[in-house]
Structure 1
C-alpha cells in the first residue's frame, strides 16, 4: 500500500532533507512550498529518483484559507511533517503585534489547522503520524527573537495536546527538536551583519557533546522512525537531535 506523506516547507534545508529521506518505493510525497517553484521541483526530482511519487503544492501558510486548500490538495495522508516555519529575529523592544501574530500564524496555527483537517483521514486509514518540527531555542531562550521562540514552545504544547486527542484513533504526534543545524536559513539570518563563521562554529561546538556542525541529513533517521509503523508506542514526545546541545 502506498503511504502518502505531506512535508511542509520542503524547498530546501531541513524540509528538503526530510522529504528526500522519506522517499522510496510505495511512498507518495506532497511537497509544500511558497514562491519557490524551481527549488522544490529539484527536491521532487530527487524524491522520484529514490522511487517515490512526488507532487508539488504551493500555499501561503499564514492564510488559513490556503492552509485548508493545501489539505484538500494533499487528500488523505498517512504522515504529516509540519516543518515550514517563519523565522523571526525581532527583539522585544522592536517587536510589533503584527510580527508576533505573523510568526504564530505559520509556526502554530498552520500546523494545528493541517492536523485538524487531516486527522479524520488518518483515522479512516487506521491511524497516522504527525511530526512537528520545533527548535532547541525553546530550551535555550534564544538566540532567535521572542516571537519565534514562543511559537516553537507553543508547537510543543500543541504536539502533546494532539497526541492526547488523536491517540485513540491510532495516530501518534511527536515533535522533532533540531539543534544548531547548518542551513541556508542560518546564513540568511546572518545577512547584513558581520559574522565570524569560525567563531560562530566554535561557540556552537562548545555547547555540543558531538564536536561537529550538524546538517539536515542528521535528522533523517529519527524522522524515518517517527513516521514508521514501528513507532506506534511513541507519542507526545520531543525528540532532540542536537548533537548533545546543552545549556552552560
Structure 2
C-alpha cells in the first residue's frame, strides 16, 4: 500500500491546525475528508484549495460528540473510498472559566467534544482499520495538560484524558497494525488565538508563537510508514516552552 492510495479523516478540519493538517495530508497524496460542525464556508475553501492543487478532498458536516452522526460519517467515507487509513482527532472546544464558575453543562460539553468525540470516531473507524491490518490515529492534545492556566480545569482534564486514551488504545490495537499517538501543541497562532498572540507576544527575546504548519508536519510524519515504530506516545511541539521554564514557573520559549 502506498500513501497515495490512503484515505484520511480530519475532524475540525476547516480552520487552524485541522486545516493545516488536511492540506498537508492532501499534499502527501491522501484523499482527505474534512469534518466540520459550523464553519461551512471555511471548509469549502479548504476543499477548493486542495482540489485546485490537484488533491482530493470532501467536506462533511458532523458533530463529533453525536454518536449517530459519527457512525454515519464513517460509513459514508468507507463506502465512498473503500477504506479509512488515517484519523486525526483535532476537533475541540474551549470554555475557560474558574472551577467555581463552571457549570456542569459547560464541563460536560468540553469533555464530550474533546474526549468522547475521539472515543466515538476511533471506535467507528477501528473495524475498517483492523480489517485492513493498517491504520493511524493521531489525537491532538495540548500542553495545557502539563502547564494549565487558570480556568482550564475542564479543558486540561479533557486533554489529559485524551492522552491516557491514546496509550490505552495503543496497547489494545498496536499488535494489529494500528498506530495511535498524540501530538500536544504549545501556543499556536490561529484565527481564534491571533488577538491573544498579538497582545502577549513571545515569552522573551527571540521567541514566537507556533503556527499550524508546525503541528501539521509532525502529524504528516506520524501517519506515514516511517513512524511505524512509534506507538502510544505523546509528542510535544511547543518550541521548547515545556523544558525552558525558569524556577519561578515562567515560560521562556514558545
Same topology, TM > 0.5: yes
The CA distance in 2 between the partners of 1:94 and 1:72, in whole Å, is 40
CA contact (8 A) 1:15 1:83 kept: yes
Query: Is the 1:25–1:52 contact (alpha carbons within 8 Å) kept by the matching residues of 2?
Result: no
Single out whichever of 98-107 and 48-57 deviates more from structure 2: 48-57
Bigger mean CA deviation after superposition, 156-165 or 18-27: 18-27
Task: Provide the rounded CA distance (Å) in 2 between the counterparts of 1:122 and 1:144.
Answer: 38
1:237 corresponds to: 233
Partner-residue secondary structure (3-state), 1:42: helix
Q: How do 1:203-214 and structure 2 match up within 5 A?
A: 205-206=203-204, 211-214=207-210
Q: Answer whether contact 2:64 2:121 (CA < 8 A) is retained.
A: no
Runs (4+) of structure 1 exceeding 6 A deviation are: none
Match of 2:177 among 159, 170, 184: 170
**CA-to-aligned-CA distance 1:113-168 (integer Å, 9 cap, x gap):** 11111111112222110000000100002255211110000000000011101101
What residue in structure 2 maps to residue 115 of structure 1? Answer: 122
What residue is the counterpart of 1:215 in the other structure? 211
Q: CA deviation at 1:218?
A: 1.1
Provide the residue aligned with 1:72 in structure 2: 75
- 1:14 CA drift (Å): 0.5
Q: Does the 8 A contact of 1:137 with 1:144 survive in 2?
A: no
Which of 4, 8, 16 is the equivalent residue of 1:13?
16
Aligned ranges 1:1-248 → 2 under 5 Å: 2-24=5-27, 26-75=29-78, 76-143=83-150, 145-187=152-194, 197-198=198-199, 200-202=200-202, 205-206=203-204, 211-246=207-242, 247=245, 248=249
RMSD: 1.8
Distance, in Å, in 2 between the alignment partners of 1:155 and 1:210 is 32
Q: Secondary structure at the match of 1:35?
A: coil
Q: Distance between the aligned counterparts of 1:126 and 1:57, measured in 2?
A: 26
User: How many matched pairs?
Assistant: 237
SS in 1 for 2:184: strand
2:252 equivalent in structure 1: none
Task: Return 159-168 or 55-64, whichever deviates more.
Answer: 55-64
Q: Deviations over 1:163-222 (max 9, x none)?
A: 10110110000000011001112247x5xxxxx934x113xx23xx97222110111221
TM-score (norm 1): 0.90
Contact in 2 for aligned 1:210/1:244 (Cα 8 Å): no
Query: Could you list the runs of 5+ residues in structure 1 that have no partner in the other structure?
Result: 191-195
